Amino acid sequence: MEDPKIIDSPFSCRIEQDGMSVQILIYRLEDTEWSLEIVAEDGTSTVWDDLFASDEDAKDEAMSAIETDGILSFSADETIKAVTH
């Protein structure tokens, strides 16, 4: 049995803001909808439970979350949050 093929979206990217960067990862298995994951510099990973009909919808959700919650909300490092807030 072959392993399922993972398809990466061209919308996956790195975003920098407030002195921190995150990787926006958008991917799917063949014949599934798109998954969204944001990985902070410290390795903290935030994965959405919901899947997205398109990779562009996933990108829009990621950008909205970063705008609404702030990029620092994706880091587990409380000292960074305390210093910048």
Q: For the chain, give the percent of residues with pLDDT over 90.
A: 79
Q: Is 23 within 8 Å of 14 (Cβ atoms)?
A: yes
pLDDT score of 18:
83
Domain-embedded: residue 1: no
- Mean per-residue pLDDT, 75-83: 57
Domain-embedded: residue 74: yes
Domain-embedded: residue 35: yes
- Mean per-residue pLDDT, 4-31: 95
Closest CA to 65 of 78, 53, 83, 52: 52
pTM of the model: 0.85
Identify the bridge partners of residue 34 per DSSP, sorted by sequence position. Answer: 52
What is the total count of domains within the chain? 1
Please write the tens of the pLDDT for every residue from 46-78. Answer: 999 999 999 999 999 999 999 999 999 998 875
Range(s) of the domain holding residue 68: 6-84
